[in-house]
Structure 1
């Protein structure tokens, strides 16, 4: 149906994040701190930050580029959360690109619609467009989410708000 968004929502829904967190378990302050970083970044600070967020990062040699390769499986979610929190230390060209403004606005409209249909959800993050399901559906499995009548009704009612790329599953 809308695989791209649902995949992101499922990952977010399966996190054990407390209610006070934002994007896929990452604190929203990470996104707001981004403008203060220089365009050249600070690779050493990035490595320290990732380690502070529980990720194993090798020491960088002189002029050695950062390699941003996420682990697979369950560890990928924690890695992406750490990346979200630490991206302010990356050079501009390595920071995750967010959706264009018109898509971000469509994703906001989708989140508003989902909330109007009793599915608690955050607004999309400007950095990546991710939204997090909160409330009673926050820690359910993908199968539970797909079988929840409230969620299914909300998706059906709100799918027209999604950007065309996500409707087509691109």
Structure 2
């Protein structure tokens, strides 16, 4: 799934970071121009983005409307501090079919060397703050064994969130 849902909502308040490395990915892709390409059903970027936002809202995630002209999404508030990672993950899964193509494309990217370094620093910070997380591999962080509902996880995430600003790729 999207690195966007990396830690679903783990990105910084600048709109970054999804399952760990992931909400940032969604923001970066959204800022790159919304949605186009396959899966849009002939809809404009703005229409596809609005359908995605409507679905996310229907699934418990409050999001701003996309730019009506470009379809550009602002995911910062939905993924910033105080966001509910579990709600974000569930909504992203439920809205996968309405997700703009730009977000889908971004999710498929692997992290580059700079992003991997940021992810390593993030993982080290999380461990220093009591969360057992492995260093990232070539695909990004392995979120499989993370319990994002654990209060200790949220505390560590709050302490380490800023380290994700340079980490946008992948995630398994």
Q: TM-score range by the shorter chain?
A: 0.3 to 0.5
Structure 1 length as normaliser, TM-score? 0.34
Q: Which has the larger radius of gyration?
A: 1
Structure that is richer in helix per residue: 1
